[in-house]
Amino acid sequence: MNETLLHASAHRIALELPFTEQCWPFGPDCDVFKVGDRMFMLTMTVRGRALVNLKADPQKSLLHQEIYRSIEPGYHMNKKHWITVVPGDDISYDLLVELIADSWNLVVDKLPKRVQKRLRPV
């Protein structure tokens, strides 16, 4: 997946998830995606390279980093709980859907039960 397609696909996938909001608290160069007022995805371009930061389960994060060369520890984030996806042939649309959905679910899982019931479609 190339630079342009990575960001465009990530934005489309994230905005299709229920109750996702897009905002720019860090300025116009960093797109932030939230659910329940908590971040689950950030997209930006750093030194000409597109980046997508996502929450990740620590064990899955390590496994993904071993399997996919285009998945790295989270750029400017907690390296244990965040990953960064960069453009590469090893990143497919389906993989990106899975990673973004996992990130969204990890954030929702940490919200109060009453909020979880409201956010998750039955």
- CA–chain centroid gap for 71, Å, is 11
Flag whether the pTM goes above 0.85.
yes
Contact 39, 107 (CB under 8 A): yes
DSSP string, 73-109: EPTTS-TTTEEEE---TT--HHHHHHHHHHHHHHHHH
pLDDT by position in tens, the chain (length 122): 998 999 999 999 999 999 999 999 999 999 999 999 999 999 999 999 999 999 999 999 999 999 999 999 999 998 899 999 999 999 999 999 999 999 999 999 999 998 999 888 66
Report how far residue 6's alpha carbon sits from residue 45's, in angstroms, rounded to the nearest whole number: 11
Which of 5, 86, 88 lies closest to 46, judged by CA?
A: 86
Q: What is the CATH number of domain 3-119?
A: 3.90.1150.30
- pLDDT of amino acid 120: 84
- pLDDT for residue 122: 66
Q: What pLDDT does 92 receive?
A: 96
Output the six-digit token pair for 18.
Answer: 């229920």
Residues forming beta bridges with residue 21, ordered by sequence position = 34
d(Cα 30, Cα 63) in Å, to the nearest integer? 27
Which tokens hold the place of 89?
């042939």
Question: Which DSSP letter does residue 2 get?
Answer: -
